[in-house]
């Protein structure tokens, strides 16, 4: 039992490496695809025909070195191994490749292995692998661009309700539905109170949708622990950035990555454990 469980987890880990490689593409390209969409929509608003643009999506064009334009060959795109074999440099111009690429692959592999190890032989493991992949992509896209794209948050929300219905999450369907509604409305209310009180925007609508998705995956009871945990992570990271002068212009730090961190904590340890950590349980 333990051996086959380990083999399954290892296979899931390898599969996760491949998905992680795909996530790197999503994280890099999805915001650019959305931006191109907006630009072309805006071009259409004044009645002019949007000009023809080169296709740009998750499949096309091939990945290139951003420095020299060298097209990345398939054998240069094997998760982790290629990075190690190329010693972290472009084979054509020797420009260093970001350490983030292999890290995303490695983390995705570990997350998938963990899910399958914890839920051996269950479809639920697959559902939580999907949850992990979506959450990792969202965290990094938000960190880079302060956007949480609907293309990921909304499917994550629907998937959470479906997973609840199929019994994958151990959350009753009505608890998940109430969780989704409460998740959205609670942050929406905080957003408007904060905006009316200070005239500033502390969050974006993407945060509400991500929190709604957490309500669907974990049930409404988990919402308070998750938002507390996200705030704790946010304060710690915010202070660390401040002391290292790592804050970007305007001092704005997106909330999504901290929500995602809290979501992973809830997945690993359960929402109850979070309450104990923050001293309320």
Binding site for Zn ion (CB under 5 A): 65, 67-68, 70, 90, 92-93, 95
Nearest-approach distance from CB 69 to Zn ion, in angstroms: 7
Nearest-approach distance from CB 103 to Zn ion, in angstroms: 20
Q: What CA–CA distance (Å, rounded) separates 210 from 207? A: 5
3-state secondary structure of 64: strand
Residue with Cβ nearer Zn ion (57 or 67): 67
Nearest-approach distance from CB 98 to Zn ion, in angstroms: 13
Residue with Cβ nearer Zn ion (92 or 110): 92
Residue with Cβ nearer Zn ion (72 or 78): 72
Nearest-approach distance from CB 86 to Zn ion, in angstroms: 10
Long-range contacts, stretch 29-36, CB < 8 angstroms, 24+ apart: 29/56, 29/57, 29/58, 30/58, 30/137, 30/141, 30/149, 30/151, 30/152, 31/141, 31/144, 31/145, 31/147, 31/149, 32/56, 33/57, 33/58, 34/147, 34/149, 34/151
The β-bridge partners of 89 are 96
Residue with Cβ nearer Zn ion (68 or 193): 68
The backbone torsions φ and ψ at residue 73, rounded to the nearest 5 degrees and listed phi first, read: -75, 160
């Amino acid at each position: 039992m333990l051996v086959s469980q380990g083999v399954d987890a290892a296979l899931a880990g390898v599969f996760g490496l491949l998905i992680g490689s795909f996530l790197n593409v999503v994280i890099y390209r999805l915001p650019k695809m959305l931006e191109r969409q907006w630009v072309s929509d805006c071009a259409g608003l004044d009645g002019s025909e949007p000009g023809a643009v080169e296709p740009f999506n998750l499949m096309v064009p091939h990945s290139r070195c951003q420095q020299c334009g060298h097209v990345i060959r398939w054998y240069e795109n094997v998760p982790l191994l290629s990075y190690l074999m190329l010693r972290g440099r472009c084979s054509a111009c020797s420009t260093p490749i970001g350490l983030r690429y292999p890290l995303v692959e490695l983390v995705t592999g570990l997350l998938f292995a963990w899910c399958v190890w914890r839920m051996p032989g269950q479809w639920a493991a697959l559902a939580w692998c999907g949850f992990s992949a979506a959450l990792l992509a969202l965290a990094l896209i938000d960190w880079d661009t302060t956007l949480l794209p609907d293309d990921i948050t909304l499917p994550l929300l629907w998937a959470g309700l479906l997973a609840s219905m199929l019994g994958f999450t151990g959350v009753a369907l009505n608890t998940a539905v109430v969780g989704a509604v409460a998740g959205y409305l609670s942050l929406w209310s905080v957003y408007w109170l904060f905006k009316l009180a200070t005239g500033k925007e502390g969050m974006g609508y993407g945060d509400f949708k991500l929190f709604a998705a957490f309500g669907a995956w974990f049930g409404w009871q988990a919402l308070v622990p998750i938002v507390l945990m996200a705030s704790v992570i946010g304060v710690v990271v915010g202070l660390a950035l401040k002391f290292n002068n790592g804050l970007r212009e305007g001092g704005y730090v997106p909330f999504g990555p901290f929500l995602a961190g809290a979501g992973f904590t809830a997945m690993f340890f359960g929402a109850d454990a979070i309450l104990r950590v923050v001293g309320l349980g």
